[in-house]
DNA sequence: CACATCTACAACCATTTGGTTGTACGTTAG
DNA sequence: CTAACGTACAACCAAATGGTTGTAGATGTG
């Protein structure tokens, strides 16, 4: 769903996967899919304090997985339908390296190509091996 | 293929996404796709110590994303082609929550149903707060 | 109005994470 | 055999994470 051409930079993907790497947060995502829920309503479902759930929602929000909308004194949380699409895209970019999706693959492989290539879109790499230690 | 009916429990998905939530580790995955690399070879590519890279590889290994195979005095790392498939499956399970229903109508219905403890088809209903631990 | 709710946020604490250095051990090269 | 290499692992450290409690500000309700 209109998720394709975006460039997902490292920080974005970091936040995305980090947000997904917690059972409680994934459960919050599932709950807020079928309808907006207030934070306090959410908090009732988990064996932790309101503040803790608030923090989890904040993590999801910074990752772009949910958004909050004020309604009176409540803050309604709803998951962004395109969000999982972004995570999927990040996986696609990984998977394409060996699943043969040629279009993205070229750029990903170009970063190294077995020898030394000046282009390094993904990661800072020591073209001059300055010695890993120290 | 060969990725379908597996049960992905919470811990597994936690480890999977956590392993993916780091730029260096994702880069290691990409590098080890095109061929096995020894850990020390990998370590040359990053501005950190050998031991640090070793730890990253260990995280990827516990997540099932790579496997190591001894070859002489070297330990060759290669990524598991099915691994990203497992991550994708975890996303599928999230996405199916709102892929399987007509979005806007679902939200309208959910406003109502959500107010009275809806059954939770497809996931562990957490209405009894005993939920995820860490 | 008084009061209960819902939220925001700060301060604090224990554990984990991501990095370091140092040491030990097996394996290959000279 | 000796030396260099590749690895494993322990000990240590700073910072982030995930949780707590407490306080305070808006907002709805009697």
Do residues A89 and A4 touch, judged by C-beta distance below 8 A? Answer: yes
**Domain assignment of residue A27, yes or no:** yes
pLDDT at B84: 83
Instruction: Flag if B49 and A133 touch (Cβ within 8 Å).
Output: yes
Q: What span, in angstroms and rounded, lies between the C-alpha atoms of A34 and B107?
A: 6
pLDDT at B1: 54
Q: What is the pLDDT of residues A92-101, one digit of tens each?
A: 888 776 555 4
CATH of the domain at B56: 1.10.10.10
Structural domain for B7, as ranges: 1-115
For range A121-127, the mean pLDDT = 40
**Domain assignment of residue A45, yes or no:** yes
**Domain assignment of residue A4, yes or no:** no
Question: In A, residues 59-78, which contact B (CB 8 Å cutoff)?
Answer: none
Residue B74 has pLDDT above 70, yes or no: yes
Residue B111 has pLDDT above 70, yes or no: no
**Domain assignment of residue A92, yes or no:** no
The answer to whether A34 contacts chain B (CB < 8 Å) is: yes
Instruction: Flag if A17 and B13 touch (Cβ within 8 Å).
Output: no
Chain A nearest C-alpha distance from B72 (Å): 22
**Domain assignment of residue B130, yes or no:** no
**Confidence category of residue B76, pLDDT binned at 50, 70, 90:** very high
Sign, CA torsion B77/B83/B88/B93: negative
In chain B, residues 30 through 89 whose Cβ sits under 7 angstroms from any atom of nucleic acid strand D: 38-41, 43, 50-51, 54, 68, 73-76
Residue B129 has pLDDT above 90, yes or no: no
| A59 vs B104, more confident | A59
Q: What is the pLDDT of residues B81-105, one digit of tens each?
A: 888 888 888 888 887 765 554 344 4
pLDDT at A76: 97
Residue B64: which residues within 8 A CB-CB, separation 6 or more? B12, B15, B16, B80, B83, B86
**Domain assignment of residue B131, yes or no:** no
For range B20-45, the mean pLDDT = 93
| A60 vs A134, more confident | A60
Which strand (E) or helix (H) includes residue B102?
Answer: none
| B67 vs A94, more confident | B67
Instruction: Flag if B30 and A94 touch (Cβ within 8 Å).
Output: yes
| Distance measured from the CA of protein residue B52 to the C1' of nucleotide D2, in angstroms | 30
**Domain assignment of residue B129, yes or no:** no
**Domain assignment of residue A57, yes or no:** yes
pLDDT at A106: 47
The count of domains in chain A is 1
Q: What is the pLDDT of residues A72-89, one digit of tens each?
A: 999 999 999 888 888 888
Of A34, A114, A132, the CB nearest to B48: A132
Burial of A94-104, coded b for 16+ CB within 10 Å and e otherwise, reads bbbbeeeeeeb
Residue A17 has pLDDT above 90, yes or no: yes
């Amino acid at each position: 769903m209109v998720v394709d051409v975006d460039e997902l930079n490292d920080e974005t993907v970091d936040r995305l996967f980090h947000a997904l790497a917690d059972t409680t947060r994934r459960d919050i995502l599932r709950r807020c899919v079928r309808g907006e829920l207030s934070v306090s309503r959410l908090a009732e479902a988990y064996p932790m304090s309101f503040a803790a759930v608030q923090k989890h929602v904040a993590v999801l929000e910074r990752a772009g997985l949910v958004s909050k909308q004020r309604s009176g004194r409540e803050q309604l949380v709803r998951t962004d339908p395109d969000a999982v699409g972004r995570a999927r895209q990040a996986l696609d970019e990984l998977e394409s390296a060996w699943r043969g999706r040629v279009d993205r693959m070229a750029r990903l492989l170009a970063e190294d190509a077995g020898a030394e290539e000046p282009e390094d879109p993904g990661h800072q790499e020591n073209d001059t091996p300055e010695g890993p230690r120290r």
